[in-house]
């Protein structure tokens, strides 16, 4: 998953902070995380023989202290020019439980890529009492149709969405607009059986356009692949309040 400009800023923030480390062996990794208002929170690890917290866990606390709410993106980088580093197993489990929809920046031969946290822990245990806030991501072009109530369904592939309350986030939106809503239905069916009625297409939209858009967003999607038809409603049709202490700009 390639990075938006706003997501690249998270990687840059982690690497920039990591470049200042190195004099103290107790602090050798930096982390950065972006909240839904576009603010980037940073922190470093605390090494100790009793099991000091990794930088990713420290930045979760820093973000929580700032009233950040659910986090969108997180990245960690090592000192000494090590660059971007993936999270350890403990951090992956904590992220999955507390921020189940966060995207994690990982190093690849092609450069930084984002992975949904669930992809970093396949078939893992999920702590039932964690109750992490849920996020549903939309392309920013859908803000007006979602906000007006004209769009009440989204179709996803390999992108599980849970029933219940969620914060609707519009990716790479300069204004960091969000809406609160509830996912009311999730229907699974194969791509080739998807109909206009299932997708509740907006006036003027066609099934062919929907299929084409899904194939562009999910390259390699075949007729036998399962998709999820997700129905949702807004919470009183009102925009979500920004995280505490935030402003319109990051």
Q: How far apart are CA 175 and CA 162, in angstroms?
A: 26
> Over the stretch 112-121, which tens digit does the pLDDT of each residue have?
999 999 999 9
On the 0-12 / 13-18 / 19+ scale of CB atoms within 10 A, 62 is middle
pLDDT tens track of the chain, all 250 residues?
679 999 999 999 999 999 999 999 999 999 999 999 999 999 999 999 999 999 999 999 999 999 999 999 999 999 999 999 999 999 999 999 999 999 999 999 999 999 999 999 998 888 888 889 999 999 999 999 999 999 999 999 999 999 999 999 999 999 999 999 999 999 999 999 999 888 888 777 888 999 999 999 899 999 999 999 999 999 975 555 556 555 433 4
Domains of the chain, CATH where assigned: 5-119 (3.40.140.10), 134-234 (3.10.400.10)
The residues annotated as belonging to the active site are 56
Backbone phi, psi, residue 74, to 5°: -140, 145
Please name the residue that has the structure tokens 């998270």: 10
pLDDT in tens, 141-190: 999 999 999 999 999 999 999 999 999 999 999 999 999 999 999 999 99
- Measured CA to CA, the distance from residue 180 to residue 41 in angstroms comes to 23
pTM over 0.85: yes
């Amino acid at each position: 998953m390639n990075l938006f400009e706003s997501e690249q800023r998270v990687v840059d923030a982690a690497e920039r902070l990591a470049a200042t480390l190195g004099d103290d062996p107790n602090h050798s990794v930096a982390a950065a995380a972006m909240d839904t208002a576009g603010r980037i929170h940073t922190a470093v690890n605390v090494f100790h023989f009793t099991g000091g917290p990794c930088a990713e866990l420290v930045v979760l606390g820093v973000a929580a202290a700032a009233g950040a709410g659910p986090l969108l993106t997180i990245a960690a980088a090592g000192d000494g020019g090590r660059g971007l580093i993936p999270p350890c197993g403990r951090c992956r489990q904590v992220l999955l439980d507390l921020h189940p929809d966060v995207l994690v920046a990982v190093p690849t031969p092609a450069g930084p890529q984002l992975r949904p946290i669930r992809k970093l822990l396949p078939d893992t245990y999920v702590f039932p009492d964690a109750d992490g806030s849920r996020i549903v991501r939309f392309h920013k072009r859908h803000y007006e149709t979602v906000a007006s109530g004209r769009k009440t369904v989204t179709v996803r592939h390999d992108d599980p969405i849970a029933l219940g309350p969620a914060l609707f986030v519009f990716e790479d939106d300069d204004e960091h607009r969000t809406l609160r809503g509830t996912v009311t239905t999730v229907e699974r069916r194969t791509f080739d059986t998807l109909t206009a009625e299932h997708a509740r297409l907006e006036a003027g939209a066609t099934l062919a356009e929907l299929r084409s858009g899904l194939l562009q967003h999910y390259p390699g999607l075949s007729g036998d692949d399962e998709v999820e038809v997700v129905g949702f409603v807004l919470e009183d049709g009102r925009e979500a309040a920004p995280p505490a202490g935030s402003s319109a700009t990051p």
